[in-house]
């Protein structure tokens, strides 16, 4: 319990510093979104109208410390303001609308990558030197080395444009009304197939290599030898004795990936025009939509810290050496 409280306090402090950094970072960018919005139109606004618009979106001129405390209040009350690009929608509405697509897309690909990569890594390590290891290890290096944007564009061209097997733009057919019908569900799944496939290929190699190398380092440990000496089956020794301990570093990598899930996969979502958080963040940056940028970075930070906190607790469960009476 003391360990959990100490880690919780650490992550709360980390969130405070991250939220502070989140405040200052957009303000280092030149200009403000209201000025940029109307400068591109070529029609100057009266000073009074510009001031009223800035007040509406929370960009009131004043001492930086005053803006900072106002920002902190909005963070802890979760009142993130209005979106500049999607006005009159609030930041909460914009992020909520995109989050469901990102959770489905990136969450599904992360789970598939973790389980397939971990299982393949366990087999490659346990049967090291076999044809399976000889095939999987170089293949994982190749998959890990391919840039995400290259793989996404390649999947789009081959399976979407050349073969015309799958749709490659947006999350569903825009002619369909969202509803729990087979036609709509089929459209969602078919539109998500290429983005999920490209994300799985990019991520799976890292999990495979991590657990393979960790498990190989553990195969000579005393408890592995003891498991064999006790007459336990190969499967039980491999999973209960070897893989359980080799998974520890992969749990950390998985936790960090889960945190990134709520940030979306910016490159993949932009390439496939998928309406997730990554695409929303990209459009917010282009349009200097400070409230949306700050809101999404806060969610990413909170998700990352929460995932790492759960990973710390999982470490204690998986490794009895870390437990204290």
Number of domains forming the structure of the chain: 2
Cβ atoms of 276 and 105 closer than 8 Å? yes
| 137-163 per-position pLDDT tens digit | 888 888 877 888 888 888 888 888 888
Residue 1 has pLDDT above 80, yes or no: no
Q: How confident is the model at residue 36 (pLDDT cuts 50, 70, 90)?
A: low
Dig out the tokens for 114 from the structure: 């973790």
Nearest-CA neighbor of 276 among 160, 106, 156, 149?
106
Scanning 78-130, the segments in alpha helix (DSSP H) are 91-126
In a domain, 51, yes or no: yes
Q: State pLDDT tens for residues 196-206.
A: 998 888 888 88
How many Cβ atoms from other residues are within 10 Å of residue 299's Cβ? 18
Examine residue 204 and state whether it is found in any structural domain, yes or no.
yes
**Residue at token pair 């900072």:** 68
What is the spatial distance between Cα 163 and Cα 151, in angstroms, rounded to a whole number? 16
Per the confidence metrics, is the pTM higher than 0.95? no
Residue in the block written with tokens 């992020």: 95
Q: Are 295 and 92 in contact (CB under 8 A)?
A: yes
Scanning 173-289, the segments in alpha helix (DSSP H) are: 182-218, 222-229, 234-236, 244-261, 266-271, 277-286
Phi, psi of 156 (to 5 degrees): -60, -45
Do 113 and 31 reside in the same domain of the chain?
no
- Together in a domain, 192 and 67: no
- Does residue 214 share a domain with residue 73? no
Please give the Cα distance from 152 to 52 (Å, whole number). 43
Look at residues 51, 77, 103 and tell me which one is the last residue of a structural domain: 77
Within a domain: residue 6?
yes
Q: Are residues 214 and 65 in the same domain?
A: no
* Structure tokens, 106: 């990136």
* 104 and 55 within one domain: no
- pLDDT tens-digit readout, 52-90: 666 666 665 666 777 788 778 878 787 777 787 777 788
Same-domain status, 102 and 73:
no
User: Are residues 254 and 182 both part of a single domain?
Assistant: yes
Burial of 92 (0-12, 13-18, 19+ CB in 10 A): middle
Same domain, yes or no: 14 and 144: no
Domain containing 117 — which CATH number? 1.10.3720.10
Residue count of the chain: 325
Structural domain span for residue 221:
93-322
Of 50, 77, 104, the last residue of a domain is 77
Q: State residue 325's pLDDT score.
A: 46
Structural domain contains residue 23: yes
Residue 201 pLDDT: 86
Read off the pLDDT of residues 221-276 as tens digits, 9 standing for 90 and up.
Answer: 667 777 767 776 767 777 676 766 667 666 766 766 666 665 557 788 888 888 88
266 and 171 belong to one structural domain: yes
Q: Tell whether 127 and 71 lie within a shared domain.
A: no
Q: Is residue 86 part of a domain?
A: no
């Amino acid at each position: 319990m003391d360990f959990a409280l100490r880690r919780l306090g650490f992550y709360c402090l980390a969130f405070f510093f991250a939220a502070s950094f989140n405040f200052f970072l957009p303000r280092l960018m030149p200009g403000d979104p209201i000025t940029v919005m109307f400068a591109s139109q070529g029609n100057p606004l009266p000073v009074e109208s510009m001031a009223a618009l800035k007040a509406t979106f929370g960009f009131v001129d004043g001492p930086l410390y005053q803006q900072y405390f106002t920002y902190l209040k909005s963070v802890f009350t979760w009142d993130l303001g209005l979106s500049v690009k999607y006005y009159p929608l609030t930041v909460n509405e914009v992020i909520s609308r995109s989050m469901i697509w990102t959770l489905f897309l990136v969450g599904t690909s992360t789970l598939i990558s973790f389980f397939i990569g971990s299982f393949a890594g366990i087999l490659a390590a346990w049967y090291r030197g076999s044809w399976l290891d000889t095939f999987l290890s170089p293949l994982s290096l190749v998959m890990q080395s391919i840039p995400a944007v290259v793989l996404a564009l390649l999947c789009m061209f081959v399976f979407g444009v050349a073969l015309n097997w799958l749709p490659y733009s947006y999350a569903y057919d825009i002619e369909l009304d969202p509803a729990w019908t087979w036609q709509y569900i089929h459209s969602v799944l078919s539109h998500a197939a290429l983005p999920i496939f490209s994300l799985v290929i990019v991520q799976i190699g890292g999990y495979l290599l991590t657990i393979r190398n960790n498990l190989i380092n553990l195969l000579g440990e005393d408890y592995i030898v003891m498991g064999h000496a006790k007459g336990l089956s190969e499967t039980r020794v491999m999973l209960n004795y070897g893989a359980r301990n080799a998974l520890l570093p992969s749990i950390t990598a998985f936790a960090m990936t889960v945190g990134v899930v709520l940030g979306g996969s910016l490159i993949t979502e932009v390439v496939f025009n998928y309406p997730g958080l990554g695409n929303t963040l990209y459009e917010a940056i282009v349009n200097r939509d400070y409230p949306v940028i700050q809101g999404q970075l806060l969610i990413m930070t909170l998700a990352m810290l929460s995932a790492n906190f759960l990973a710390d607790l999982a470490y204690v469960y998986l490794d009895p050496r870390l437990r204290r009476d």
